[in-house]
Amino acid sequence: MVGRVALVGDAAGTVTKSSGEGIYFAAKSARMCAETIVEFSQKGDRIPTEADLKVYLKRWDRQYGMTYKVLDILQTVFYRSDATREAFVEMCADMDVQKLTFDSYLYKTVVPANPLTQLKITAKTIGSLLRGSALVP
């Protein structure tokens, strides 16, 4: 956000870590920004202020903040070395991981698994990391 300029898409850094998905988020951020401008311009009677435009960013963070956080963590953990990337590939063979990933891609949100499945995925993830010696500094 510079003065009264509201950034969207790649210019606003909406492309996701880990998956590199940016087309949906570019379009969605543009739409959310435009809707905020329309809302605060009161049918064209007033020019939205910088504070008004920041509302779009707050809404963005509320809707997608957790998704960005999780993908950031995934990238930090798994994109560190060849060993961690191999562990990531091994983990992705798991059906529960595939379902979780598919749902999250489809709904553009972190879809929670039931606690037992989550525990299983966590154990398998740690197993993959240990097998690939991915945790060795």
Ligand X SMILES: Cc1cc2nc3c(=O)[nH]c(=O)nc-3n(C[C@H](O)[C@H](O)[C@H](O)COP(=O)(O)OP(=O)(O)OC[C@H]3O[C@@H](n4cnc5c(N)ncnc54)[C@H](O)[C@@H]3O)c2cc1C
Binding positions for ligand X, rule: CB under 6 A:
9-11, 15, 20-24, 26
- Least distance (Å) between residue 9 CB and ligand X: 2
Nearer to ligand X, 15 or 126 (CB): 15
- Least distance (Å) between residue 44 CB and ligand X: 25
Return left, alpha or beta for 102; rule: phi > 0 is left, psi -120 to 50 is alpha, else beta: alpha
- Least distance (Å) between residue 29 CB and ligand X: 8
Among the listed residues 88, 37, 36, 81, the one whose alpha carbon sits nearest the alpha carbon of residue 62: 36
The span from the CA of 56 to the CA of 59, in Å, is: 5
With H, G, I as helix, E, B as strand and everything else as coil, classify residue 115.
helix
